[in-house]
Structures are given as structure tokens and as C-alpha cells.
Amino acid sequence: MITEKLKGSFVALVTLFSDGKIDEKGYQDFIEWQIDQGTHGVLAMGTTGESPTLSHEEDMHVVRLAVEAAAGRVPVMAGTGSNSTAECIMLTRHAQEAGADVVLIVTGYYNKPTQDGLFRHFEAVNDAVDIPIVVYNIPGRTGVDIEPATMQRIARLSHVVGCKESTAAADRVSRQRWLCGKEFIQMSGEDAAVLGLLGMGGHGCISVTANVAPALCARMHEAWQGGDFEQARDIQNQLMPLHEALFSETSPGPVKYAVGLLGWGDGSVRLPLTSPAEETRVRVRDAMRQAGVLA
């Protein structure tokens, strides 16, 4: 079952560009590297993949590239969220047809729906498709928070298997574990808060930092799963400056710059996103050296 594989370090893949276009070979080679480094799963077309600035055709093409590159070796999660429920259904159906294992669906950003509206959005998508759904709660970007009681309602839908929780609220995972059951998958959307989530019964992280330090992120989760909590804490401490540096400006600007330093893509982002300022670049380079991922 896919739920057994939704754990550990999932990378929220950057979408690599070359001369403003998707670097297809580079993107698939990047996924190959991620798998070689030990990453447990990949997310195509999340926020880090710049989904808001890609056309629907580009978005769907990137999902196909990811499925092809992963070739069944690790789960492929496809970001198919939208602030239009009909559009979300269309993207989700495509991800299912393309062979994705699971979809990640964000709340209705900008619209700021009510709690009942949130439930009805996920209900409509759930009833229109036949693929496992992970709910993405990130109020800092969408302007609306899925309250635990609403998450409980959503969790009862037939295809919903878990959530990506990006509030970093200290009690959120425990409350949702109580309301939704311990089988309900909860993955962190905040690299810096992942150990807290794991300690409360969470399952893994959909990580920005894993783009840059995939082996370390995977080892941290494997240490935790193996009961070596001290090693997991030590690795997290090693990664903390990098976690912070990659969000010192609006993501994915800093992480695109960071993977470019490692030879992946040209570091460019699409407007209205911009490349990071020199001060941020220095901070990213220093943090990468501290983490041991850049000479």
C-alpha cells in the first residue's frame, strides 16, 4: 500500500530551467541523483517546483517526467492543487493517468474559503478521482488554516490518506493524530520543525532542504526510524543553518541558487519570483559549507 511508503524524506523538487524553458534531461538526472542519495520519495510540482508560474501544459509535462524518471523505485507525489476546484480535479485526473502514486492538494489559496468550503473542495476532488490524496495545509501562503476538526472531516473521505502540515504549531500533529487516527499520515512541510513532528507521531517530511542535502535528510529519518534519536538530532543540528538559509528569502529563490552551485540547472526562477540578493547568496553558500555539502 502507498501509505506504507509515505514516510521519511520526500524532496519537494525544484523545477530546473535552461534559457527559461524546462530542462527535461537535467530534471530527470536530478531525480536520479536524489534516488541515488537515498531520498525516499519525490514531489513534482509543489510550491518549490514553481507550480504557480508554469502553464498547465508544463505542469502536466513535469509530472510525466518525474514518473518516468522514478520508474517505480520511489513514490511520486504530484502537486495538483488550485484555487479552482474544477481545475484541481483536471490536474489530479492527469496525475492519475500519468502514473503518479499520490497527489498533494493545497487549500484554496487567495479565495480564503470557510471551513465548510474547504471540506467541500476536498470532497468534490475525492469523489471525482481514484488516487490517494494528501492534504496540504500551509496558511502562511494560502491565507486559510484547515482547523483540526475540519481535517477530521476531510480525513474520513475515501481517498484521503494524510496531510502535509506546514503550520509548525507545537500541538497540531498530536491533535490531528487524536482526531484522525494514528494511521493518518502526517508529514512536515517545515524542515526546521520536522523532529518535533516525528516526536508527536508524524511520519516524515516533504523537504526543501533535501534538494541540496538529500543524503543527510534521508539519514536523519532513517536514524529516527531506527531509534537512534541522538544521531537524528545531531544531523538536524548540522542542517539547521541550511534550513534557515534556504528560507531567508522567498522560496524557491535560495534553493534554486543552491542546487545551481551543485551543478543542477542555471539557478533561474520565473517572475514574480527573483534570484536571491548577494547577502542571501553568501548565507546559502556558508550554510552549505557548514552542512558539508559544498566544498
Residues 111-129 have a mean pLDDT of: 97
- For the residues of 49-103, what is the DSSP string, one character each? GTGGGS-HHHHHHHHHHHHHHHTTSS-EEEE---SSHHHHHHHHHHHHHHT-SEE
Residue 179 within a domain: yes
In a domain, 45, yes or no: yes
- Residue 248 maps to a domain: no
| First-residue to last-residue Cα distance in the chain | 40
Record the cell numbers describing residue 30, joined without a space: 536530478
- What's the confidence (pLDDT) of residue 149? 98
Lowest mean pLDDT among 22-26, 165-169, 278-282: 165-169
Query: How many structural domains is the chain composed of?
Result: 1
Print the domain residue range for 51. Answer: 2-231
pLDDT of amino acid 172: 94
Residue 23, in any domain of the structure: yes
Q: Using an 8 Å Cβ cutoff, are 184 and 155 in contact? A: yes
Q: Report if residue 57 sits inside a domain.
A: yes
Which pLDDT value is given to residue 108? Answer: 85
User: What CATH number did the domain enclosing 226 receive?
Assistant: 3.20.20.70
Q: Which residues are catalytic?
A: 136, 164
Instruction: Name all contacts of 53-59 with Cβ < 8 Å and 24+ positions apart.
Output: 53/269, 53/270, 53/271, 53/272, 53/273, 54/15, 54/22, 54/270, 56/90, 56/91, 58/22, 59/91
Q: How many CB atoms lie within 10 A of CB 113?
A: 18
Chain segment 61-109, per-residue pLDDT in tens: 999 999 999 999 999 999 999 999 999 999 999 999 999 999 999 998 8
The pLDDT assigned to 1 comes to 79
Q: For residue range 205-260, what is the model confidence (pLDDT) as tens digits?
A: 999 999 999 999 999 999 999 999 999 999 999 999 999 999 999 999 999 999 99
**Phi-psi region for residue 50, left (φ > 0), alpha (ψ -120 to 50) or beta?**
left
What integer pLDDT is reported at residue 96 of this predicted model?
98
Chain segment 187-203, per-residue pLDDT in tens: 999 999 999 999 999 99
Provide the pLDDT for residue 198.
Answer: 97
Q: Average pLDDT of 104-132?
A: 96
Residue 238 in any domain: the answer is no
pLDDT tier at 182, thresholds 50, 70, 90: very high
Mean pLDDT of the residues in the chain: 97
- With bands split at pLDDT 50, 70 and 90, how would you rate the model's confidence at 168? confident
DSSP category for residue 277:
P
In a domain, 213, yes or no: yes
- Sequence-distant (6+) residues with CB within 8 A of 134 are 6, 77, 102, 103, 104, 105, 160, 161, 162, 163, 164, 185, 187
In-domain check, residue 257: no
Tell me the one-letter amino acid at 82.
Answer: S
Which pLDDT tens digit goes with each residue over 2-29?
899 999 999 999 999 999 999 999 999 9
